[in-house]
């Protein structure tokens, strides 16, 4: 028996086999939060049943835990728990359950690189065939190309191009442009198109995808774009996506398709902004954590999620765009930088390239904060790296009123003269609180003596309400969009302190392995979009960052896409990325004897 579900406010309708509302929403490409991947843990996939005659299961024990009695009586359900058996249904996705566009960080630091792209375009005028010159078309093209560029000697041509070559040459009256990638002939175009030579740098993150369009003749960035990674519908963290992809080949293909579709939309968007043709984009250089890297190429990441956490490949890989379904020039290439380990990916390599810590004698640390935080410490002699399992708390997951850094999120908190002040993204009424807001809130509560070192709330305060559990009111109901207060519980604070402890114990463990102290660091780079919005003093107060001079700390912005662009513009940098693998020592925290002791201590506030 099939079911028909209409999702409001979009009015999107889908006919489906019986399934959970969450699964039906995924198939309909409806924007619906599912931070835990549909496991019934996060409680963020709230929907409202507003009409229809469909058969629904009764609220489950999971729903009774996450939904208040008044919500249940008003038609609220958790999409991951509500099973639709037949008939029709109208479902409202409320604002707090929708995935929203959020702040995207720019690249704050840039490194000049010699322009040496893999893609080169050479205009050619070929001598026409005659009875005295009966060379085959490809040999004629190859000979002229070798004359114009002696260092380039293409020895073969792909069959799909060879099939088109005779008609291209004659239609263009023998005036063509050869397109080469790493010295390999990948396309021949009519006329002189050498001025149109584009590539894209991609940061394929767990939460977002960033795309920059680059003119490969000048190295100039022409346009930028970014979207939420649609894979978040299948789980906020990479472990949820590994689990989903490992269940079946169809699931793996679905995760690959949704990310490729998002990339295609971004490429079309940035080309439209710059007035460039998508057909003239010949290479995309992508970076991302190891799981995102594998999913982009359709490689099952199952082994990454199982001890000893081994990736399928470590070095640079490249594939034809048409094979992956990426809509650039069909003969173009999708290239990914090397990964370091199972949970330290190509984005970490990009972080190192753009900060240049591997070229400097001074000792530097790079922290790329995310659901899986990557930490690198080192210099030109050696680099130590680890992955800290910080989880999605910094993205607002597992926090009662947590949300991403989107309009309506409280992003900054101050307590002055016993009065609490907050700032909201977009100047809107608050809907919840994001990661940067939580850092400042906990720091301010700690300094004001409202929470103890273990994160427990004190007994009495005008903003502490004691119902079933004590909660601290950040914004009263009359101040918020929903009319309900934005609060944090002791459990929320503990969840955040656990995430903080993972990161702190990560850099502490690396330093212990290197026999150094925080004071020996000359520079700390905070990478990624989340890092851009961290208040340094608050981060030091709660112990997230080392207590060093503030001037040593640099907000580097989206270093991942910056490093991808560097590699797009310079094949020399790609070779450097490969050489980096021999310089990096990966520290697996799960087997480090001191890590768990360090982690336990790091949960407490300093």
Q: Is residue 212 part of a domain?
A: no
pLDDT single digits (tens) 56-84 = 999 999 999 889 888 898 899 999 999 99
55 and 9 inside one domain: yes
The answer on 402 and 314 residing in a single domain is no
**E strand or H helix at 184:** strand 184-190
Q: What residue has token string 């690189």?
A: 113
**CATH of residue 351:** 3.30.420.40
The rounded mean pLDDT for the chain is 91
pLDDT of residue 233: 83
Task: Evaluate if residue 442 carries a pLDDT over 60.
Answer: yes
State the CATH number of the domain containing residue 172.
Answer: 3.10.20.880
The count of domains in the chain is 5
* Structural domain includes residue 106: no
The answer to whether position 327 is within a domain reads yes
Residues 235 and 332 placed together within one structural domain of the fold: yes
Task: Give percent above pLDDT 70 in the chain.
Answer: 97
Over the stretch 354-375, which tens digit does the pLDDT of each residue have?
999 999 999 999 999 887 899 9
Mutual angle of helices 490-514 and 595-603, in 10-degree steps: 140
Q: What is the mean pLDDT of residues 484-499?
A: 94
Are residues 515 and 437 part of one domain? no
Greater pLDDT, 151 or 277: 277
Q: What is the pLDDT of residues 78-128, one digit of tens each?
A: 999 999 988 888 998 887 787 655 555 566 567 788 899 999 999 999 999
pLDDT greater than 70 at residue 436: yes
Q: Where does the pLDDT of residue 53 fall: very low under 50, low under 70, confident under 90, or very high at 90 and above?
A: confident
Same domain, 505 and 385: yes
Instruction: Answer yes or no: do 506 and 372 share one domain.
Output: yes
Work out the pLDDT band at 459, boundaries 50, 70, 90.
confident
**Predicted local distance difference test score (pLDDT) of residue 534:** 84
Q: Are residues 330 and 235 in the same domain?
A: yes
How many whole angstroms separate alpha carbon 147 and alpha carbon 141?
10
75 and 133 share a domain?
no
Q: Residues 545-557: pLDDT tens digits? A: 999 999 999 998 8
> Is 375 inside a domain boundary?
yes
Q: Which residue has the higher pLDDT, 391 or 303?
A: 303
**What's the whole-number mean pLDDT along residues 560-571?**
96
- Kindly state the tokens that stand for 10: 């979009």
Q: Report whether pLDDT(410) > 90.
A: yes
pLDDT at 349: 96
pLDDT of residue 500: 95
Q: Are both 374 and 316 inside the same structural domain?
A: no
User: If you average pLDDT over residues 321-337, what whole number do you get?
Assistant: 96
Assigned token pair, 459: 């007994």
Is residue 341 one of the residues assigned to a domain? no
What pLDDT, on the 0 to 100 scale, is given for residue 344? 95
- For 34, phi then psi, to 5°, come to -155, 70
pLDDT, position 98: 76
**Cα–Cα dist 15/281, whole Å:** 37
Q: Domain for residue 222, yes or no?
A: no
Note the residue count of the chain. 606
Are residues 563 and 596 both part of a single domain? Answer: yes
* Phi/psi at 177 (5° precision): -125, 125
When pLDDT is averaged across residues 518-546 and rounded to a whole number, the result is 90
Please give the structure tokens belonging to residue 424.
């909201």
CB of 40 within 8 A of CB of 80? yes
| Distant-in-sequence, close-in-space partners of 175: CB < 8 Å, separation ≥ 6 | 123, 124, 125, 126, 190, 191, 192
Asked whether residue 214 is domain-assigned, the answer is no
Question: Which range (105-119, 253-267, 362-376, 468-482) has the least confidence?
Answer: 105-119
Q: Which of 130-134, 530-534, 588-592 has the highest mean pLDDT?
A: 130-134
The CATH number of the domain holding residue 322 is 3.30.420.480
Say what the pLDDT of residue 242 is: 95
Looking at residue 475, its pLDDT comes to 95
pLDDT number for residue 97: 80
User: Quick check: is 217 in a domain?
Assistant: no
DSSP class of 404: -
Task: Give pLDDT tens digits for 189-243.
Answer: 999 999 999 999 999 998 889 999 999 999 999 999 998 888 988 887 888 999 9
CB 525 within 8 A of CB 367: yes
398 and 434 inside one domain? yes
**457 and 400 belong to one structural domain:** yes
Q: What is the CATH number of the domain that holds 47?
A: 3.10.20.30
Enclosing domain of residue 382: 346-390+501-603
pLDDT at 454 over 90: yes
Q: How confident is the model at residue 579 (pLDDT cuts 50, 70, 90)?
A: very high
pLDDT at 28: 81
CA dihedral 315, 316, 321, 325 (to 10 degrees): 40
């Amino acid at each position: 028996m099939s079911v028909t579900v209409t999702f409001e406010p979009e009015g999107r309708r889908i006919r489906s086999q019986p399934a959970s509302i969450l699964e039906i929403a995924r198939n309909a490409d409806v924007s619906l939060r599912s931070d835990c991947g549909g496991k019934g843990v996060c409680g963020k996939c709230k929907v409202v049943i507003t009409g229809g005659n469909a058969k629904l299961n009764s609220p489950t024990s999971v729903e009774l835990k996450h939904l208040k009695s008044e919500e249940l009586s008003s038609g609220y359900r958790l999409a991951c728990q509500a099973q639709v058996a037949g008939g029709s249904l109208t479902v409202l996705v409320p604002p707090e359950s929708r995935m929203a566009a959020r702040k995207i960080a720019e690249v704050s630091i840039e490194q000049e690189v010699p322009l040496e792209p893999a893609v080169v375009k050479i205009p050619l005028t070929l001598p026409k065939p005659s009875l005295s010159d009966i060379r085959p078309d490809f040999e004629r093209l190859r000979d002229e190309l070798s004359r114009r560029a002696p260092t380039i000697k293409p020895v073969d041509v792909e069959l799909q191009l060879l099939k088109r070559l005779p008609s291209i040459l004659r239609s263009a009256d023998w005036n063509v442009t050869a397109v080469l990638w790493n010295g390999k002939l990948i396309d021949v175009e009519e006329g002189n198109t050498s001025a149109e030579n584009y590539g894209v740098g991609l940061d394929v993150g767990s939460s977002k995808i960033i795309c920059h369009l680059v003119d490969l003749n000048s190295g100039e960035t022409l346009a930028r774009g970014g979207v939420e990674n649609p894979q978040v519908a299948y789980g906020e963290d990479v472990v949820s996506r590994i689990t989903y992809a490992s269940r079946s080949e169809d699931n793996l293909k679905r995760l690959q398709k949704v990310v490729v579709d998002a990339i295609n939309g971004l490429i079309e968007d940035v080309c439209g902004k710059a007035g460039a043709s998508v057909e003239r984009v010949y290479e995309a250089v992508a970076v991302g954590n190891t799981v995102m890297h594998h999913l982009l190429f359709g490689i099952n990441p199952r082994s990454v999620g199982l001890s000893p956490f081994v990736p399928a490949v470590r070095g640079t890989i490249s594939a034809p765009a048409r094979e992956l379904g990426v809509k650039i020039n069909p003969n173009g290439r999708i290239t990914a930088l090397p990964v370091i380990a199972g949970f330290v990916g190509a984005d970490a390599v990009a972080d190192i390239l753009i900060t240049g810590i591997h070229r400097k004698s001074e000792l530097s640390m790079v922290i790329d904060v995310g659901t899986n935080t990557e930490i690198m410490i080192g210099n030109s002699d050696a680099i130590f790296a680890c992955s800290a399992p910080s989880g999605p708390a910094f993205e607002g997951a597992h926090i009662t009123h947590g949300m991403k850094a989107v309009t309506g999120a409280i992003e900054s908190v101050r307590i002055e003269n016993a009065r609490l002040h907050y700032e909201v993204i977009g100047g809107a009424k608050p809907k919840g609180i994001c990661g940067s807001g939580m850092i400042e809130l906990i720091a301010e509560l700690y300094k004001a003596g409202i929470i103890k070192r273990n994160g427990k709330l004190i007994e009495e305060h005008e903003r502490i309400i004691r119902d079933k559990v004590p909660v601290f009111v950040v914004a009263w109901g009359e101040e918020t969009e929903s009319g309900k207060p934005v609060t944090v519980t002791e459990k929320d604070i503990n969840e955040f302190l656990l995430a903080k402890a993972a990161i702190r114990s990560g850099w502490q463990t690396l330093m212990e392995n290197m026999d150094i102290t925080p004071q020996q660091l000359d520079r700390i780079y905070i990478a990624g979009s989340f890092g851009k919005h961290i208040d340094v003093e608050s981060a030091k107060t709660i112990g997230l960052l080392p207590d060093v001079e503030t001037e040593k700390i640099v907000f580097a912005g989206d270093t991942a896409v910056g490093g991808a662009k560097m590699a797009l513009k310079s094949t020399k940098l790609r070779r450097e990325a490969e050489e980096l693998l021999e310089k990096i020592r990966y520290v697996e925290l799960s087997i480090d004897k001191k890590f768990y002791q360090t982690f336990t201590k790091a949960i407490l506030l300093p």
